[in-house]
């Protein structure tokens, strides 16, 4: 499988003034795999230390001199390790968070040795451990599950992926290509982007196998709950994980998780799952200006799961029935269309930026409204509406465009693409005049390019 982050990591590796890199992401999204592939592609000797397997590896670093560390490692691995020809990989570094502070010495004393640290539960260690982070001496990269276009390439549809890469709004998408991409999108809704599931789908194309893998992944996440048990009861985390997919596309409400207990422990559980990167909040922003993060209401938010395939499994969708269906009915179930677009939007930001998601909601009695997502592009706010089928009302979008006096909006749906000039009177009597770029859901990964 090819991951787009490979080019970014290879560029980092080829830079002479690189800093140690901390690779962040949830469990099982492919962090270890991508580092091993990077070392192989660059023809570098991989020095891999997994601190969950052996915390004693920390003893190699008791001295702040990287050359001493390399001497220890050469003795341990029984080979001469030349920094210029190696890649030092510190995996599961959250088990020894004090080691992060020592990365500065590699940046300052041995810049010729590239160092990558990775940790699935790193945020928990950072929130607990008191130490001085090497500010300005490390850089970050964020890895997500495979995007839809990465899924296409992994599945062998290179020409279709190239077609999407070159498509412009003036081009036609022939109906057979549109139908094929819609079918593949439906597959992605069930398979998702977790590497193990994608790999199994490529090899076996067996939905029962995918279900087993999803359940195994969910079980491994549940087993991780024991590591945060002292922070929140296991039962709260379990019921929250089960409930998030049922509230996709809606304002998240703690009472819908468990109405018999106070909201505080559920709120705390949500914070823990967010720190583990198993879910992410979509924050409400008033969107009256930039940045969007400056005007959020922390009490109002939606939540999406790490991966759409896991969400489908938790919702209990039946693979064979829905894949065989030629309708878009399944896409609307459980808010999966919004889950998909949110998951794809996270892959559009540069790899060194931690992705954040926003939406807009208006609670006026006479004219309530909601915009599914907000993004910024070239210092402008772009509202995004998500429709599962090929039709749907745009009352909220008209109102938002009238209030904010914006000139471009995006709609994702199940129809072919189009660009429409809209000139309407909104529900508050104010005129909205703007261009509406309508795109099929399968073009989500091309949004930044098409906006440009």
Supply the mean pLDDT for the chain.
92
- Both 132 and 240 in one domain: the answer is no
- Both 136 and 209 in one domain: the answer is no
pLDDT for the residue 231: 73
pLDDT for the residue 328: 46
Length of the chain: 452
| Mean pLDDT score, 4-29 | 95
pLDDT interval class at 226 (50, 70, 90): confident
Q: Which of 142, 173, 202 is the last residue of a domain?
A: 142
Q: What is the pLDDT of residues 58-69, one digit of tens each?
A: 999 998 899 999
CATH number where 89 lies: 3.40.50.300
pLDDT for the residue 128: 66
Q: What is the pLDDT of residues 150-190, one digit of tens each?
A: 999 999 999 999 999 999 999 999 999 999 999 999 999 99
- Both 132 and 237 in one domain: the answer is no
- Both 160 and 40 in one domain: the answer is no
- Both 263 and 295 in one domain: the answer is yes
* Measured distance CA(416)–CA(247) in Å, rounded: 28
Domain encompassing residue 20: 5-142
Of the candidates 211, 256, 164, the residue with the CA atom closest to the CA atom of residue 444: 164
Token pair listed for 246: 């049922």
Please tell me the total count of domains within the chain.
Answer: 2
Q: Which of 117, 142, 167 is the last residue of a domain?
A: 142
- Both 35 and 99 in one domain: the answer is yes
- Both 237 and 378 in one domain: the answer is yes
Of the candidates 252, 230, 250, 224, the residue with the CA atom closest to the CA atom of residue 240: 252
Of 91-105, 116-130, 301-315, 370-384, the poorest mean pLDDT is in: 116-130
Residue 331 has pLDDT above 50, yes or no: no
pLDDT for the residue 365: 76
- Both 27 and 49 in one domain: the answer is yes
| pTM of the entire predicted model | 0.94
């Amino acid at each position: 499988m090819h991951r787009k982050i490979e080019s970014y990591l290879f560029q980092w590796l080829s830079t002479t003034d690189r800093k140690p890199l901390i690779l962040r992401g949830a469990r099982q999204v492919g962090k270890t795999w991508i580092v091993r592939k990077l070392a192989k592609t660059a023809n570098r000797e991989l020095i891999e230390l997994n601190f969950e397997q052996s915390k004693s590896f920390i003893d190699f670093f008791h001295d702040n001199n990287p050359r001493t560390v390399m001497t220890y490692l050469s003795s341990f691995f029984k080979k001469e390790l030349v920094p210029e020809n190696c890649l030092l990989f510190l995996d599961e570094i959250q088990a020894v968070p004090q080691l992060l502070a020592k990365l500065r010495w590699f940046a300052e004393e041995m810049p010729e040795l590239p160092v990558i640290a990775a940790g699935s539960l790193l945020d928990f260690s950072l929130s607990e451990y008191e130490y001085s982070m090497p500010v300005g001496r490390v850089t970050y990269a964020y890895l997500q599950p495979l995007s839809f276009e990465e899924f296409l390439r992994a599945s062998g549809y290179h020409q279709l992926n190239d077609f999407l890469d070159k498509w412009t709004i003036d081009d036609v998408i022939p109906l057979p290509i549109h139908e094929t991409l819609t079918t593949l999108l439906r597959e992605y809704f069930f398979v998702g982007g977790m590497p193990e599931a994608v790999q199994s789908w490529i090899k076996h194309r067996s939905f029962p196998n995918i279900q087993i893998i999803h359940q195994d992944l969910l079980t491994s996440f549940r087993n991780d709950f024991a590591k945060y048990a002292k922070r929140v009861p296991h039962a709260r985390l379990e019921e929250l994980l089960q409930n998030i997919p049922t509230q996709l596309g809606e304002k998240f409400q703690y009472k819908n998780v468990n109405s018999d207990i106070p909201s505080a422990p559920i709120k705390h559980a949500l914070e823990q799952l967010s720190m583990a990167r198993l879910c992410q909040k979509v924050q409400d922003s008033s969107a009256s200006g930039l940045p969007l993060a400056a005007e959020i209401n922390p009490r109002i938010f939606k939540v999406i799961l790490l991966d759409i395939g896991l969400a489908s499994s938790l919702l209990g969708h039946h693979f064979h029935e829905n894949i065989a269906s030629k309708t878009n009915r399944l896409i609307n179930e459980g808010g999966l269309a919004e889950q998909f677009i949110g998951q794809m939007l996270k892959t559009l930001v540069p790899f060194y930026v931690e992705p954040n998601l926003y939406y807009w909601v208006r609670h006026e009695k006479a004219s309530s409204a909601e915009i599914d997502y907000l993004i910024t592009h070239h210092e402008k706010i772009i509202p995004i509406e998500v429709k599962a089928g090929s039709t749907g009302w745009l009352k909220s979008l008209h109102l938002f465009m009238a209030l904010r006096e914006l000139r471009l909006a995006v709609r994702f749906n199940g129809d072919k693409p189009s660009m429409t000039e809209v000139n309407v009177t909104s529900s508050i009597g104010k005129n909205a005049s703007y261009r509406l770029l309508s795109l099929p859901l399968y073009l989500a990964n091309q949004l930044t390019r098409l906006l440009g």
